[in-house]
């Protein structure tokens, strides 16, 4: 399980790195690993679902089937971050890259594991991400929130995700939006 995810991330990093300008192979692996920890492929999600927090909306009171959240497409995530970095000034880009590097190299200080973040197994990654998110030091929590928001932005910008998740494709405006909602007379 772990290997299949890691292999997928590695492949994506190799394939994408050639055509991208601002994110490196290493950065792609980190970002894809975070995306996989937010929206894991179904079989991984199943294993990570902890009893007290497991809800499925196939509850009979809910007339809608549960919304489908597919696994992140790594090529999309990589391209999204490449474009995003391109829009920032070089000092901001340098700062962001430095932060990714620190994040990648710090599992030892947060979960006592002598490995890089992207080579941890899926459960190890979750422990590490939780350690940042629940840390006593405010700036670690902030960094975790920022990472989450950036990766969420990349994930939900993917047209495949949007259509499976039943949210309007993006970008979409005006009458197109109404048509999508079925409100256009």
Residues 37, 31: Cα–Cα separation, whole Å: 10
Residues 173, 99: Cα–Cα separation, whole Å: 35
Residues 81, 20: Cα–Cα separation, whole Å: 10
160 near other proteins (CB under 8 A): no
* Residue 57 host element (H or E): none
21 near other proteins (CB under 8 A): no
Residues in the chain: 185
Q: Which of 33, 37, 74, 100 binds other proteins (CB under 8 A)?
A: 37
Question: Please, are residues 132 and 141 in contact by the beta-carbon 8 Å criterion?
Answer: yes
- CA 78 centroid distance within chain: 10
Least separation in angstroms between residue 179's CB and other proteins is: 11
Stretch near other proteins under the rule CB under 8 A, chosen from 2-10, 24-32, 59-67, 101-109: 59-67
Site string for other proteins, 88-117 (x = CB under 8 A): ------------------------------
44 near other proteins (CB under 8 A): yes
Contacts of 109 (CB under 8 A, 6+ apart): none
Q: Which of 62, 99, 109, 179 binds other proteins (CB under 8 A)?
A: 62
* CA-only gyration radius of the chain, Å: 18
Residues that bind other proteins (CB under 8 A): 37-40, 44-50, 53-57, 59, 61-64, 66-69, 84, 87, 122-123, 125-126, 129-130, 133-134, 138, 141-142, 145, 148-149, 152-153, 155-157, 165-168, 170-174, 177-178, 181, 183
């Amino acid at each position: 399980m772990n290997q299949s995810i890691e292999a997928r991330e590695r492949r994506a990093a190799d394939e994408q790195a050639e055509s991208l300008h601002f994110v490196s192979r290493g950065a792609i692996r980190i970002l894809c690993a975070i995306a996989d920890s937010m929206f894991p492929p179904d079989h991984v999600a199943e294993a990570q679902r902890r009893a007290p927090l497991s809800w499925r909306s196939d509850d009979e009171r809910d007339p809608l089937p549960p919304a489908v959240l597919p696994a992140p497409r790594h090529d999309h995530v990589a391209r999204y971050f490449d474009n995003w970095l391109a829009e920032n000034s070089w000092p901001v880009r340098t700062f962001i890259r430095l932060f990714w590097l620190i994040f990648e190299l710090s599992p030892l200080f947060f979960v006592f594991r002598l490995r890089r973040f992207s080579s941890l197994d899926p459960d190890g990654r979750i422990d590490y991400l939780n350690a940042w998110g629940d840390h006593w030091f405010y700036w670690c929590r902030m960094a975790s929130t920022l990472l989450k928001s950036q990766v969420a932005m990349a994930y939900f910008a993917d047209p495949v995700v949007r259509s499976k998740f039943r949210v309007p494709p993006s970008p979409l405006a005006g009458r197109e939006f109404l048509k999508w909602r079925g409100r256009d007379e």
